[in-house]
Structure 1
Amino acid sequence: MKFALKQEKGFSYIDEGEGDVLLLLHGLMGALSNWEQVIEEFKDRYRIIIPMLPIYDLPLLTTGVKSLSKFVHKFVKYKELKNITVLGNSLGGHVALIYVLSHPEYVKALVLTGSSGLYENAFGGSFPRRESYDFVKEKVEYTFYDPAVATKELVDDVFQTINDRNRVIRILAMAKSAIRHNMAKDLHKITIPVGLIWGRNDKITPPEVAEEFNQLLPDSELHWIDKCGHAAMMEQPVEFNKLLNLFLEKIKK
């Protein structure tokens, strides 16, 4: 990761560039580096901020999507951000949706890619063979259309995470919280522009999830990326950035 991680007041985050703020939220097994290509592409004309979500640091009883949304709000207030565009992948998209519903006055627009909040087919309720490296490798590859995107570094990172007892308990608690907190009944209240950029081959939040989001969100537009799985900004960064740029240009007008 070539961008400096800043640490202050209990927050760890990346803050690059100047201009309108893009606040990027990573997924459950994600990392700040997942957004590297987005930072590279947009930092010359936007201020890109990526907070590290405290997925493994919350008390177990409050480990859930609502707590992450509250954390995001504390961060936004601390950094005195306003008129922001929030981008969320996977769990980060779910947190973004809750945040927008709670604090619409801070958010100008929303971009979701492979977002949970309606349905997701993730690891399931447990890690039956988490000690098996090959099993973990297979699960990480499942995230992408092209298994080669699941580099050894990425697999090693996930393997290490889910074999840490403290972390795996919180991952399962967070996943269960996400499943319980279905957003279908609330999405009609989100009236800001929403860009949906989806991998057509996403097996975790499949295409029908994107279509349902598009139906339920009043001001949304859906764009597909072919030969692409659950993390479009990693697997097809050029196409993702192109579609993101078109959306950002449109909401400027």
Structure 2
Amino acid sequence: MELRRQHQQGYEFVDEGHGPVLLLLHGLFGALSNWVDVVREFTPDYRVVIPLLPIYDMPLTQASVPGLVSYVEGFVKALELPSSFTVLGNSLGGHIALVYTLNNANRVNRLVLTGSSGLFEDSMGGSFPKRGNYAYVEERVGFTFYNPAVATRELVDEVFEVTNSNSKCLRIIAIARSAQRHNLSKELAKIDVPVLLVWGLNDTITPPPVAHEFARLLPRAELRFLDHCCHAPMMERPASFNAHLRRFLRSTKTAPALAV
């Protein structure tokens, strides 16, 4: 399935399906395509919206978790999304989803986090990407998955291209450091909406103890682990991820949101 990209008011995004809104946020080295199986599964019943986060080209002074949250706030306003919706985030996208929810508690009715940062993460296996070293980038991208074969040549090439750009690398480093500084442990108790945590049991970037800590700190969280799965369950175990997501959406069904 090829996702159809749209452009509006300076934003690039996917907007497919009809119904209650699912707002999906990708991670630091992520892309719109990370969510393709979620789009395929849920567009018959939901409106699935995915902004392309400007991780590689946003102003360097704004390259941070707060800067990306502001970007999402502007995107939601530009698209005139309904007054209440569900937010899903993977890795850095989960961190952004959490801060967005803390800043806009009246807009988020449910949260889904998978491999989220916000408490602890071992970015790129503990080091920043080395420019010009394809084998290193291939190894680090494979580190994201339980089965390194999931890291396709196309995905590795994309990350390699990014890490060979000085300006993009500067933004990656700034955002990664911002995420590491921006610990949310003292704020998570304020999030009083249903939260689904879907975690790879073999996640080496945000390991299982991180998921347990999220479950302990979030008042209304439920935690589901997927075996033989690392940091991106929606890509590596899409059928199981979607099954957990569908059960969660059904069990926490909310009233239809009204337009803003």
Establish whether residue 75 from structure 1 lines up as the match of residue 75 from structure 2.
yes
Distance in 1, Cα, partners of 2:17 & 2:112: 19
Deviation (angstroms), 1:59: 1.5
> What are the superposed Cα offsets for residues 97-121 of structure 1, whole Å, 9 maximum, x if unpaired?
0000000111110000000000001
Q: Secondary structure at the match of 1:176?
A: helix
**Partner amino acid for 2:188?**
L
Deviations 1:19-44 (A, max 9, x none): 00000000000000000000000000
1:102 aligns with 2:103: yes
What secondary structure is seen at the aligned counterpart in 2 of 1:24? Answer: strand
Aligned-partner Cα distance in 2 for 1:200–1:220: 17
In structure 1, C-alpha distance between the alignment counterparts of 2:3 and 2:122, rounded to whole Å = 32
Consecutive unaligned residues of structure 2, counting only runs of 5 or more, are: 255-260
Match of 1:205 in 2: 206
Alignment partners' CA distance in 2, 1:131 and 1:76: 37
* Structure-1 residue corresponding to 2:141: 140
Letter in 2 for 1:34: N
Q: Which amino acid aligns with 1:113?
A: T
Secondary structure class of the residue paired with 2:198: strand
TM-score by length of 1: 0.97
Equivalence for 1:53 = 53
Q: Which amino acid aligns with 2:94?
A: G
* Residue 83 (structure 1) shift: 1.3
Tell me how far apart the structure 2 counterparts of residues 42 and 130 of structure 1 sit (CA, whole Å): 38
Matched ranges for 1:168-247 at <5 A: 168-247=169-248
Distance 1:225 1:79 in 2: 34
State how far apart, in whole Å, the 1-side matches of 2:185 and 2:112 are. Answer: 17
Q: CA deviation at 1:161?
A: 0.6
Letter in 1 for 2:228: K
Superposed CA deviations along residues 44-76 of structure 1, whole A, max 9, x for unmatched, are 000000001111222212210011111111111
Aligned-partner SS, 1:14: strand
CA distance in 2 between partners of 1:55 and 1:154 (Å): 16
Q: Which runs of 4+ in 1 moved over 2 A?
A: 123-127
CA drift of 1:126 comes to 2.9
Letter in 2 for 1:57: D
SS in 1 for 2:7: strand
Q: Secondary structure at the match of 2:49?
A: strand
Question: In structure 1, how many angstroms separate the alpha carbons of the residues matched to 2:105 and 2:136?
Answer: 41
CA distance in 2, matches of 1:14, 1:154: 19
Two-structure CA RMSD over aligned residues (Å): 1.0
SS at match of 2:77: helix
Deviation at 1:130, TM superposition (A): 2.8
The aligned residue for residue 116 of structure 2 is 115
- Which runs of no fewer than 5 residues in structure 1 stay unpaired? none
Of 116, 125, 128, the match for 1:126 = 128
Q: Is the 8 A contact 1:201 1:228 kept in 2?
A: yes
Q: Distance in 2 between matches of 1:126 and 1:201?
A: 21
Percent identity of the aligned residues? 54
Distance 2:9 2:248 in 1: 33
Question: Which letter does structure 2 place at the counterpart of 1:122?
Answer: S
Question: Deviation digits for residues 180-218 of structure 1, max 9, x if unmatched?
Answer: 100101000001000000000000000000000000000
8 Å contact from structure 1 (residues 125, 176) kept in 2: no
